[in-house]
Amino acid sequence: MRTRFILIGLGAAVLFVAAAHAGNAGDGGFKVGDRLAPAPAANAASPYREINWDALIPADWDPVKAFKHMDFAKLKDSDPKAMEAMEELKAAWNAAPIEPKMDGARIRIAGFVVPLGTDLDHVKEFLLVPYFGACIHVPPPPANQMIHVFPKKPLTNAQLMGPVWVRGALKASLTDTSFGAVGYRIQAAGVETYKEH
């Protein structure tokens, strides 16, 4: 249910972004908004619990609560009300609360890579985001839906929006980045290319 609200909010934000449907060349066939499927079965011997992105959202948080009164379909990109709504959305999502129970949890999670830096042959840090296109083709997700990842070893030949699994101890840590506020960080014990099965 919470995922639906986030996607509804994302849909509203997309109305304000002219480049929301950029081409998909070199992206592995993903489309803007696509999410990765969970692994078929968790490895019981692993010290890392596999989670989905909803686990990072407090149960009582509604990401679109402040915007339920708005009819986004009636707004055009150039409308000052649209720009004002986008700024309100950005502020609300930058202040998105973290799930306190996840602080310190040893997790494994799948997501897409948004490198922080321009050298894709030596990525020392990146954002992990829940859906394809986040921060690049569409506005960033709420702070509680982004993880600032510091891999044990820099990634080589990283792909922008490349799908990966990340494992490590999650920390609640609000950080400002060029893409917006990030609610979690992880010193990754491992980063592997995503494989569904």
**Percent over 70 (pLDDT), the chain:** 83
pLDDT tens-digit readout, 47-97: 999 999 999 999 999 888 877 877 878 888 888 888 888 888 888 889 999
- What is the value of pTM for the model shown? 0.81
Rg of the chain over CA atoms, in angstroms? 17
Flag the least confident range among 27-36, 54-63, 151-160, 172-181.
27-36
Architecture of domain 2-193: Beta Barrel (2.40)
Mean pLDDT throughout 168-175? 95
Domain residue extents for the chain: 2-193
Q: Can you give the chain as a three-state secondary structure string? A: CHHHHHHHHHHHHHCCCCCCCCCCCCCCCCCCCCECCCCCCCCCCCCCEECCHHHHCCCCCCCCHHHCCCCHHHCCCCCHHHHHHHHHHHHHHHCCCCCHHHCCCEEEEEEEEEECCCCCCCECCEEEECECCECCCECCCCHHHCEEEEECCCECCCCCCCEEEEEEEEEEEEEEECCEEEEEEEEEEEEEECCCC
pLDDT tens-digit readout, 148-164: 999 999 999 888 999 99
The Cα–Cα gap between 197 and 194 comes to: 9
Burial class (CB in 10 A: 0-12, 13-18, 19+), 100: exposed
